[in-house]
Amino acid sequence: MSETVVSITNANIYQGQSLVLGDVNVKVSKGEFVYLVGKTGTGKSSLLKTLYGELPLSEGEATVVGHKIQGITWKEIPFLRRDLGVVFQDFQLLTDRNVIENLRFVLMATGWKDKAMMDAKIEDVLDKVGLKSKGFKMPFEISGGEQQRVEIARAMLNSPKLILADEPTGNLDPETSDEIMQLLFSIVKEYGSTIIMATHDYIVINKFPARILRTEGGKVYDSARQEIR
């Protein structure tokens, strides 16, 4: 049996006092690529934020890469996030330092100390995303697609079992979107990572089909269980 990376059971997800998603039951296994779709305001972002500890889970149970999410404390959240990679739509790179220094900053923030090991890891992830020659460039000197590749490299630094990607193609042209999607699928295939990707882009979904979770009417529908309409 394949390893379960995300398990959500009978969970109710709130934004403040408002119930956004009710009775959520989802399991995602190692090496799966899963889309998370839904109209704005249907709970897509709330579900992602619950997975990385941004929103508290008080009702139901959830385990993400071996960490219990219900009742997780602020002290425990950094340990959860060390085992996750998160890719955002808007590139969130530090603009005052080059690509290598952006990646080194993350490693130091997550407890790495040995400079040679850090340098080797940075070279490794830049190689994986096809940016080995761009390490000394500043963010403004590289294209939007290359900045998104740096984001993905950053998400891979701690060899996470799970990468959460929030609209990673949202600011990219169609050709660059295709390149990013091919990269994400290759990460799943070659490294056995699991990726959950939130998106509005049905052109991408049709071109790169995979399992779909859809938020609608306060529920999560799962194409793997034929509950999707």
Reported as a pLDDT band with limits 50, 70 and 90, residue 1 is low
Percent of the chain, pLDDT > 90? 59
**If you average pLDDT over each of 2-6, 109-113, 134-138, 155-159, which comes out highest?**
134-138
Report pLDDT for 229.
43
* Cα→Cα distances 116→121, 138, 144, 149, 155, Å: 9, 22, 29, 23, 20
Tokens matching residue 111: 């407890």
The answer to whether 135 touches 146, Cβ cutoff 8 Å, is no
Report pLDDT for 190.
87
- Give 100-147 as a DSSP string: HHHHHHHHHHTT---HHHHHHHHHHHHHHTT-GGGTTS-GGGS-HHHH
Is the whole model's pTM more than 0.95, yes or no? no
Beta bridge partners of 11: 24
Residue 68, pLDDT above cutoff 80 = yes
Residue 177, pLDDT above cutoff 60 = yes
Mean pLDDT of the residues in the chain: 90
Report pLDDT for 111.
82
Reported as a pLDDT band with limits 50, 70 and 90, residue 79 is confident
Report pLDDT for 139.
92
The answer to whether 185 touches 116, Cβ cutoff 8 Å, is no
Residue 35, pLDDT above cutoff 90 = yes
Tokens matching residue 136: 């000394």
Report pLDDT for 93.
86
Between 24 and 86, the more confident residue is: 24
As a whole number of angstroms, the distance between CA 155 and CA 43 comes to: 23
* 182-197 average pLDDT score: 92
Report pLDDT for 216.
94
